[in-house]
Amino acid sequence: MPGFEFNNKGTLMQDTKHYQAYLQVSGVNIYASVYDTSQLSIVRGSSLLLKWAVELLDGAHIEKTQDEPPLYSIIQVYNETIRNKYESDHIPELNRLAEFVLPLPELIKPLTAITTGASSGIFEVNIDKLPNIDGKMGETLAKYAQAIAHFLSNHDYFRYFTFTVVGLIDESNDFTLVKECLLGKSRSQQIHQISLAPQPILEPSDNPAQPCTLQGILPAVSAMKYPPTGFEGKLLAPASQYRFLLGRYLRHGLYIAETFELPKTEERGQLLQQLQSDDCQASESIDKIAYDQKYVNLENKIAVFYADGNGFGGIQANGVKSVEDQKHFDHTLKTYRREFLACLLQQWMPEDGKGILPLETLLWGGDEMMFVVPASKGFALAQMFYQQSRNWSIELDGTKHKLTHAGGLVFCHYKTPIGRVKKLAEDLADEIKEREYGREGNYFDYAVLESIDYPAETLDEFFAKRYGVLAKSRFPLQPLAAVPDIEIPQAEGKPPQYPQHNALALNWDEQAKPIAEFLEAMPKSQAYQIAQATQTDAFGKKIERFYSLQKDNPVLLKQLEELIKNGVLRLPPKPTTQSDKFDAAKQEPATAELGEESTKPENAVKAHESAVMTDPWQWLHLVELWDYLAPRKKDQVQATEVNDHA
């Protein structure tokens, strides 16, 4: 109906200045189609497909003429790999895996993305570009939504998911109201759908019906003809095969796509070239990430880091008043996240860009992210993220909002069920948000699992079992050893500038050197004895004994206090709620002001009464994180031992 505007009742409107049509596409029933298995490649493949399903509908892709859209080029490259390795004589659908069907330009040309997330997107609809469908405007938009839904439900990649596709014609010019209406219509449509997408009917097979080996519920028909190592002979459902293969071979493509979207610079161009090279690939599996770590006590261990935005929904609800506001929020957040990811990839890129990236991405979308890295890089990753994000903010409706995150960091054996570890990392972050101050700044908490066992109880019960009465005084940590903030003034009329960071400040290996020196000099047995006494009356005596034994080693005491003062084991904030109350002296001990005189043994001993390490939690943190704060290389430790015996 080009040239004519109708309201949602289908009648012609007199005033068309504030008239706009919208479409929302959402992947729903996530737990039935993404988390129906704990197999990582399937979960990753499902997440990527849902993300793509939304992004591919952005009509802006077909307007790009100079550079091929990143998603399309990545699909083309990786499909060639899949075509060469995974052609199947048994499942005809699998042969089409390498022939990705792009949406017809005529179908997506009317759509312009306003915001896209991990599985949902809102689009503006250009009425003048809608297909020529007879009927009133409300009916036309509804039929167009059906056409989008038909494309998704019949696509070989997306047919295994359930989507809601809803349209809205608005004349209020109130985008907040538009989002609420679209959300309501989407939920209404969802409850009228089945929660599991129907599986395609396959050709008859001689194999008896069996459940899918990886998913456990869907009927399996055949094994993959050219399976990866370890998957020989396993019977898989078609839905599992698609998601498994895509998740396995497209994990590296995520890094290429996100880097491609950043502003083009020489540095970014070099990174993109390295990522696209056959010489550089993401790690194939978690056990490969954990394998062959050259650090003491870290063999076969991994770190899982999770970060979740604090109140981003509330910021949008209060600050986003228009489509432009929403686009601004979406673009700003995505740029921040991509800059962080690019920084991470640059620092961890193998030498000369040849080798394996020790990185697994479990979540990437919206305001969440989750990574698996070698245990030796766990604190490096957490530090880098909080250092990079410390200045993240956005101005909406005249108000500047800080964008902060709650984080969870788990160290464990790689054989610990990853689903349980993922849940534990999320629980650590969620527990922070439940505190009154938890959403007001950057905080994180950690857990160390020294065996393949995992907590079967709640987080509170887990900490109570581990720390006894001291569990009530356990508070989240602030980011470690942050460098001063960097403010970049915004020039009038210029686009927002995103904070740039000193590479050295983001390099935890450099920042951890003083910690490594201290741990090398600190008697580990004494630290353990003090930590074990934190719940007893002997704690004070242990502290006295420690300082007495170290009275001839004032340099060590000075090192220890300086590390704490500089935020290496930064103490939690003051309690602000009734539930958070406990002995404030345990929470914010005084800091010793040690000058030149403190280098004398007698002054160092006196200083312990006000020294920061009189707090029991600092000793507990120190002992639990002994191998993780500043990992020590085996060859260096062996060399030290040789020199000691020489």
Question: What is residue 590's predicted lDDT score, i.e. its pLDDT?
Answer: 27
CA angle 571, 508, 504 (to 5 degrees): 120
CA distance 311 to 227: 43
Q: Residue 389's pLDDT band (boundaries 50, 70, 90)?
A: very high
Residue type at 592 in one-letter notation: A
> Residue 615: pLDDT above 50?
yes
E strands present in 171-224: 210-211, 219-220, 222-223
Q: What is the pLDDT of residue 80?
A: 55
Please state the domain extents for the chain: 20-191, 250-504, 514-630
The CA–CA distances, whole Å, from 592 to 174, 589, 599 equal 56, 9, 13
Higher pLDDT, 497 or 246: 246
Per-residue confidence (pLDDT) for residue 424, from 0 to 100: 94
Model pLDDT, residue 566: 53
- Provide, rounded to the nearest whole percent, the portion of the chain with pLDDT above 70: 71
Q: What is the mean pLDDT of residues 391-400?
A: 92
pLDDT, position 624: 87
* Residue 112 contacts residue 58 (beta carbons within 8 Å): yes
> H helices within 468-523, ranges in order?
508-511, 513-521
* Residue 281 pLDDT exceeds 50: yes
Q: How far apart are CA 446 and CA 429, in angstroms?
A: 9
Token digits of residue 242: 């698609």
Least confident of 78-92, 95-109, 392-406, 607-621: 78-92
Identify the pLDDT of residue 15. Answer: 42
Helices (H), 378-452: 378-389, 418-433
pLDDT at 338 over 80: yes
Q: What is the pLDDT, as a whole number, of residue 260?
A: 84
pLDDT band at 156 (very low <50, low <70, confident <90, very high): confident
The answer to whether the beta carbons of residues 268 and 386 sit under 8 Å apart is: no
Specify burial of residue 359 (Cβ count, 10 A radius: 0-12, 13-18, 19+): buried
Average pLDDT over residues 567-571: 51
Q: Is the model's pLDDT at 644 over the cut of 50?
A: no
Average pLDDT over residues 525-546: 78
Which CATH architecture is the domain 250-504 placed in? 2-Layer Sandwich (3.30)
**Nearest-CA neighbor of 605 among 569, 553, 560?**
553
Q: Write down the mean pLDDT value for the chain.
A: 75
Backbone angles phi, psi at 227, to 5 degrees: -75, 155
Q: What are 414-452's pLDDT values in tens digits?
A: 988 888 899 999 999 999 999 888 888 899 999 999 876
Q: Which uninterrupted H or E stretch holds 558?
A: helix 554-565
- In this prediction, residue 207 carries a pLDDT of 61
Strand partners, 379: none
Read off the pLDDT of residues 59-112 as tens digits, 9 standing for 90 and up: 876 665 445 555 555 555 555 555 554 444 433 443 444 456 667 778 888 999
**Residue pLDDT, tens place only, 12-28:** 343 444 578 999 999 99
Q: How many CA atoms lie within 13 A of 538 on its CB side?
A: 8
Eight-state DSSP code of residue 54 = H
Is residue 631 predicted with pLDDT exceeding 50? yes
Q: Is the pTM of this model over 0.95?
A: no
CA distance 17 to 98: 46
Q: Which of 263-272, 552-561, 623-632 has the lowest mean pLDDT?
A: 552-561
- Secondary structure tally for the chain: helices H, strands E: 25, 17
Contacts made by residues 552-555, CB under 8 angstroms, sequence distance 24+:
552/601, 553/521, 554/598, 554/599, 554/600, 554/601, 554/603, 554/604, 555/521, 555/599
User: Would you say residue 580 has pLDDT above 90?
Assistant: no
